Amino acid sequence: ALTIGIVGLPNVGKSTLFNALTENDALAANYPFATIEPNVGVVELPDPRLDRLAEIFGSQKILPAPVSFVDIAGIVRGASEGEGLGNQFLANIREADAIAQVVRGFTDDDVTHVDGAVDPASDMETINTELILADMQTLEKAVPRLEKEVKGKKADPAVLAAATEALAILETGKTLFQAGFDTTPVRELGLLTAKPTLFVFNVDEGVLTDDARMAELADLVAPAKAVFLDAKVESELIGLDKEEALELLQSLGQQESGIDQLARVGFETLGLQTYLTAGPKEARAWTIRKGWTAPQAAGVIHTDFERGFIKAEIVSFADIDCHGSMNEAKSAGRVRMEGKDYVMQDGDVVEFRFAL
Ligand code: GDP
């Protein structure tokens, strides 16, 4: 599964948030792999469509798509020079598919800030600088090597050109993700700042209803997405049942938990989407990449489904929702048979036909 690495300066609330992500006992049963690695937390992608499908198909169980987060030990200034746990830190980020950067927005005189003051913009810069410096080191080694290889016709000049351009962008202080730079030609270099990134502002609960302040913080990180939460509130939500949790959230002017928002935005940041299956046993969301074809999507359920793919019977969620049953949707001509070139759409409700 693709994972999102949680990073941030010390004392910004990473552990508090991560505990809220992992102490979610209900999940352990559905996602057994979640308990294997102590630093991995799995949360469910909230999806009300599954409740509706379970109602229509009489499904006993609902299985949302899992979203995995990995806790990456604290970064410090100087990480790119191997300070502290620097090298390990960078190696762990390299393995993540996306980055969630936790930024401290809460004020609390009892909790020391490593740089002396709560200043989200400066915190982000500290982290970005370490990642940018690490990538510059990688590229400064790669460029001369690529130059030699291009001369000897052992490397594609396009790769050298991309590496040179990436270095120039980093020198301006921007991450490659912020610059929207296509790093496909230099993918083998595993550049850290190319990873899709989202920002988690850990703020005082009052900020959660302060739209002007949130817009200000969101502007700091655009075009990356921002999630706003209070890690302390998130940890209080763990022990509560659904109704109590909703009550607490509503008393703070919230409709859904920060962790639900984080799952949603994280999933989007990874560039993923879901399709749905439903039957008497379960209503389930399956994770695919945007642009995948029907046979590729079938392969997520079982590799045999991809190999033996014949066709897919598909109805959009909107259609089955409005017609209320598969039969009604069929009579209305809303159920389609799609072949192997069909590109999956978000919310397709699917039954695959395959031969083994
Ligand atoms: P980490 O070093 O980034 O993992 O930070 P921790 O999660 O250990 O949090 C550092 C300290 O800040 C702890 O004492 C937390 O209880 C406190 N803390 C974390 N989140 C919040 C928050 O949203 N509000 C307040 N007031 N304190 C918080």
Instruction: Give the Cα separation of 180 and 183 in Å (integer).
Output: 9
What is the DSSP code string of 193-225? Answer: GGS-EEEEEE--GGGGG-HHHHHHHHHHHTTSE
Share of the chain above pLDDT 90, in %: 70
| Residue to mutate (ligand 1; options 108, 113, 208; most atoms within 8 A of CB) | 108
Distance 110 CA to ligand 1 centre (A): 10
User: Is 15 labeled as ligand-binding?
Assistant: yes
Residue 225: per-residue pLDDT: 95
> What integer is the mean pLDDT of 9-21?
87
Confidence band (pLDDT; 50, 70, 90) for 123? confident
Residue 83: per-residue pLDDT: 58
**Ligand 1: residues whose CB is within 6 Å?**
8, 10-16, 106, 108, 111, 202, 230-232
Confidence band (pLDDT; 50, 70, 90) for 108? confident
Contact 296, 350 (CB under 8 A): no
Instruction: Give the Cα separation of 227 and 199 in Å (integer).
Output: 6
- Least confident residue range of 101-110, 130-139, 237-246: 101-110
Instruction: Give the Cα separation of 97 and 270 in Å (integer).
Output: 7
Residue 188: per-residue pLDDT: 92
Q: 245: how many CB neighbours lie within 10 A of its CB? A: 16
Confidence band (pLDDT; 50, 70, 90) for 111? confident
Give the domains, in start order, of the chain with CATH numbers.
Answer: 3-197 (1.10.150.300), 291-354 (3.10.20.30)
ipTM: 0.95
User: Is 206 labeled as ligand-binding?
Assistant: no
Contact 99, 75 (CB under 8 A): no
Distance 126 CA to ligand 1 centre (A): 19
Residue 20: per-residue pLDDT: 87
Instruction: Give the Cα separation of 170 and 192 in Å (integer).
Output: 11
User: Is 207 labeled as ligand-binding?
Assistant: no
pLDDT at residue 30 greater than cutoff 80 = no
Atom of ligand 1 at shortest distance to CA of 108? 26
Instruction: Give the Cα separation of 291 and 17 in Å (integer).
Output: 32
Distance 209 CA to ligand 1 centre (A): 20
Residue 238: per-residue pLDDT: 86
> What integer is the mean pLDDT of 8-12?
86
User: Is 16 labeled as ligand-binding?
Assistant: yes
